Amino acid sequence: MNKCNGLPKSLGRMSYRAHNTYFETEILTADPVRLVQLLYRGAIEAVAASRRHLDTGAIRERVRQINKALGIVHELLETLDRERGGEIARNLAGLYAYMSTRLIDANTQQIDAPLAEVETLLTTLADAWTPVIEAAA
């Protein structure tokens, strides 16, 4: 049995695979604006999971989730259109670099404060995309 939800582990894995398949399809069919929103969501979820794992002492999972968040932040950084984005792209690049540093700090020092800070920054950025997504719809 899965201790988290009382279901047999095989059902939990099936649900996880179904979620991953859905999420993969969503990513592959997303327009660029929606893709940014999905990346933010994935990074926020990874940081939240790393905070839970830090709290429970699950080192391997904490590291895996921080690395996932780092990968997503790096992808956001690499896909910035610096020519057309101008000052906004430069500011975002600096913010993404800062978040990467804070994620590394959280991992090496095994502390929550940098994770909480990055989660707040990512949530603020994700919320800022809402009007862009609504305008694109």
For residue 94, give every residue at least 6 positions away whose Cβ sits within 8 Å of its Cβ, in sequence order, or none.
none
Same domain, 36 and 54: yes
Residue 28: alpha-carbon gap to chain centroid: 17
Residue 137 within any structural domain of the chain: no
Amino acid at 68: K
Which amino acid type is present at position 113?
A
pTM for the structure as a whole: 0.79
Q: How many other C-beta atoms can be found within 10 angstroms of the C-beta atom of residue 53? A: 18
Give Cα separations from 18 to 12, 22, 35 (angstroms).
Answer: 10, 6, 20
Query: In terms of Cα–Cα distance, which of 70, 94, 69 is closest to 82?
Result: 94
- How many angstroms separate the CA atoms of 1 and 113, rounded? 34
What pLDDT was estimated at residue 1?
A: 45
Residues 49 and 1 in one domain: no
Do the Cβ atoms of 93 and 82 come closer than 8 Å?
yes
Same domain, 16 and 43: no
Query: Residue 4 — pLDDT band, cuts 50, 70, 90?
Result: very low
Specify the number of domains making up the chain.
Answer: 2
Are 25 and 43 part of one and the same domain? no
Residue found by looking up tokens 């059902």 in the block = 11
Tell me if 2 is assigned to some domain: yes
Which pLDDT tens digit goes with each residue over 46-55?
A: 999 999 999 9
Q: Are residues 37 and 60 in the same domain?
A: yes
When comparing pLDDT for 133 and 64, which is higher? 64
CATH of the domain at 69: 1.20.120.340
Nearest to 106 by CA among 39, 50, 46: 50
- The amino acid sitting at 71 is G
